[in-house]
Amino acid sequence: MVFNPFSEEHELFRQQVRNFAEKELAPHADAWEEAELFPNEVFKWAGDRGILGAHFNEDCGGGGGDFWMSVVKAEELPRNNSAGVTMGLLVQSDMATPVIHDIGTREQKEEFLRPAIAGDRIAALGVSEPGAGSDVAGLRTTAKLVGDEYVINGSKTYITNGTRASFVTCMVKTDPNAGARGVSIILVPTDVAGYSVSRKLKKAGNWASDTAELFFEDVRVPKRYLLGQEGMGFIYLMQNFQSERLVGCASAIAGSKLALDRTVAWGRERQAFGKPLIKREYWQQKFVELYTKLEAAKALTYKAIDAYNEEKYVKKTMLSMETTKLVSMAKAYVGDVNGEIMDQCVQFHGGMGYLEDLWVARAWRDARLLRIGGGATEVMRYTTAKIMGL
C-alpha cells in the first residue's frame, strides 16, 4: 500500500495554498525579486487565509491541524516562483513561532503568537551570530537579569525578516560560563530602546526576502518574555530546529519537482540537431536518474516527517534520537539532491539557463541556501554520526 498521510482536509488546504501561491503571489514574483523585498502585507494576506497557523492549536488562533498541514504549505508555496517569499512566510509560521506555541505562557501566546498567526506581527528567529552559526552553544549575545528585566547585549546576523520584524525569538546566553546549558530564549519586541538593524545583507539568492544584521545595546525586556525555563533554550531550539529542517526539505523537494517538470516540458519543444533535446539518450538517462533521486529524497523526508508528527502531535513527547537522526539524514540528502537537480536544469537549458531572464537561473541560485541554512550539511552528517555512535 502506498503511504498517503493526507486526508481530505489536508487536500482542501493544499488547494487553498496553491491558489494563494499561483494567483496572488506569483504574478508579483519578478517585481519583488527586482525590489529585493516583498511587501509586509503578504504576511497579512497569508494570515487572513489561515495559512500561517494551520498546524497550531485553535485556542491561540490556529487551525488545529497536525504537522502534515505544514508540509502541505511548504510543498505548495514554491509555486509563487520566489524562494524568498516562501522563506519569509515559513520563518513566520514554522521557525520563529513554533517554540512559542510549544512552551509559551498564555500571555506570551496572546501577545506574540496569535498576532503572528494572523499576520499582524512579523516574526524573526534570532540564532546565528557573526561568530556562531550552527554552533549554537557558542553564542555570545548575553541577557542579564536585573530586577524584573533582562538586559540584552550582542548581535545577530543572517536573520530572515530581520529588517521588518516586530519581534525576535532570540537565543541568548543567560549564563555565559555554562556552555549549552546557559542558553535561553527570550522574546524581544523590536520597538524597544537599544535595538537596531545595522544593515540589510545582500545575498546571492532568495532576493525577495530580507536578511539583516541586528544589534542589542542594553536592550531591556520584561522577565515575563523569557520562554520556558532559563538554561533550557538549547534543548528547546534543537526540538524547534527539526520542524524547520523538515519544512525546508518539503519545500525543496516540491521546488525540485517543479523545476524538473518545467525543464522536461521545455526540452520537448527545444530542437537540437534535428530532434527535440529531450530525445537525446544522455538527457533521458540523466532525468530518469534525477527523478529517481527525488523520489528517494521524498520517501526519506516523509519517513522523518511521519516520525516527527507521531511523537510531537500524537504522543506529545520529546523527539527521540532516532527521529532526530532521520531528520538530519533527510536535510543532508535533500540538500544535495536539490542542488544537483537545479544545476542539471541550468545545464540542460544551455546558455539561456545562465541568464537572469529565465526562471531556472533564479531557482539555481536560490537552491544553494538549503545546504547552509537551518544547519549546514556537514553538521547534519556529524549529528547523524554521533547518534549512530560513530
Provide the domain limits for residue 134. 124-227
Q: Residue 179 — very low, low, confident or very high, per pLDDT cuts 50/70/90?
A: confident
Q: Is there a single domain that holds both residue 241 and residue 360?
A: yes
302 and 244 in a common domain: yes
Task: Name 182's Cβ contacts closer than 8 Å, sequence gap at least 6.
Answer: 173, 174, 175, 176, 231
Structural domain includes residue 181 = yes
Task: Check whether residue 182 and residue 243 sit in a common domain.
Answer: no
**162 and 52 co-located in one domain:** no
Same domain, 99 and 163: no
- 261 and 346 co-located in one domain: yes
Exposure string for 240-262, b = 16+ CB within 10 A, e = fewer:
bbbbbbbbbbbbbbbbbbebbee
Q: Is 289 a catalytic residue?
A: no
With contact defined as beta carbons under 8 Å apart, do 77 and 90 qualify?
Answer: yes
Both 110 and 31 in one domain: the answer is: yes
Question: Does 295 share its domain with 216?
Answer: no
Q: What is the CATH number of the domain that holds 362?
A: 1.20.140.10
Domain boundary among 227, 251, 267: 227
CATH code at position 202? 2.40.110.10
- In this structure, are 136 and 252 located in the same domain? no
Show which of 181, 212, 227 is a domain's final residue. Answer: 227
Helices (H), the chain: 8-19, 29-35, 41-48, 67-76, 83-94, 98-103, 106-108, 114-118, 233-269, 281-309, 321-349, 359-367, 377-387
* Cell 502506498 belongs to residue: 2
Question: What's residue 2's pLDDT?
Answer: 63
Q: What is the mean pLDDT of residues 10-34?
A: 98
SS3 assignment, position 142: strand
- Comparing C-alpha atoms, which of 340, 325, 326, 349 is closest to residue 370? 340
Domain boundary among 71, 90, 121: 121
The C-alpha cell that represents 249 in the structure block: 526539505
User: What is the pLDDT of the chain when averaged over all its residues?
Assistant: 95
pLDDT in tens, 265-309: 999 999 888 899 999 999 999 999 999 999 999 999 999 999 999
Same domain membership, residue 87 and residue 45: yes
Active-site residue identified among 111, 230, 244, 311: 244
pLDDT digits (tens, 9 = 90+) for 182-231: 999 999 999 999 999 999 999 999 999 999 999 999 999 999 999 999 99
User: Percentage of the chain surpassing pLDDT 70?
Assistant: 98
| pLDDT tens string 339-389 | 999 999 999 999 999 999 899 999 999 999 999 999 999 999 999 999 999
Same domain for 371 and 239: yes
Domain total of the chain: 3
State the pLDDT at residue 271: 85
- 259 and 330 assigned to the same domain: yes
